[in-house]
Amino acid sequence: MTNRSPFSDTATAAAAWARFRRIMRWMFLVTMTTVIGALSVLYKQEGMVSPHFYIAVAIGVSFAMLLMSALMGLVFLSSASGHDEEVSEGPKDDQDLSR
């Protein structure tokens, strides 16, 4: 018998996903602020070089920060919803799992 997922409850799932979306909105704002700051520092230090350089920096910094924040947000989602506890408890019955 498998354990019931905490996401089976629609209220818990909705609250968890709403929190995840809120975290991602804030991290998008932080990411855009960081990208603008990084581009302005690079422009002050290097001057106008190839526009492709600035495009690559903006895409690279944005992708890295948003990917890291999405993964960390999923960790928070899993922890807050009780998903981690369900996995760590193991099966609730005494069935032989070697079959």
pLDDT digits (tens, 9 = 90+) for 12-50: 778 888 888 999 999 999 999 999 999 999 999 988 888
Q: Is 69 within a domain?
A: yes
In a domain, 72, yes or no: yes
**Other beta carbons within 10 Å of 5:** 14
User: In the chain, what is the greatest distance between 2 CA atoms, to the nearest angstrom?
Assistant: 69
Host H or E run for residue 48 = none
Q: Please give the residue that has the higher pLDDT: either 60 or 2.
A: 60
Residue 44 lies in a domain: yes
Q: Has residue 57 got a pLDDT over 60? A: yes
- The model's pTM is 0.69
Average pLDDT, the chain: 81
**Is 11 part of any domain?**
no
- Predicted local distance difference test score (pLDDT) of residue 44: 94
Any domain includes 60: yes
Name the residue with higher pLDDT: 97 or 39.
Answer: 39
Look at residue 61 and tell me whether its pLDDT is greater than 60.
Answer: yes
- Which amino acid appears at position 38 of this protein? A
Total domains, the chain: 1
- Which range of residues forms the domain containing residue 70? 21-81
User: What is the reported pLDDT for 1?
Assistant: 46
Q: Is residue 64 part of a domain?
A: yes
48 within domain boundaries: yes
Residue 33 within a domain: yes
Please state, for a pLDDT cut of 90, what percent of the chain lies above it.
44
Answer yes or no: are the C-beta atoms of 37 and 72 closer than 8 Å. no
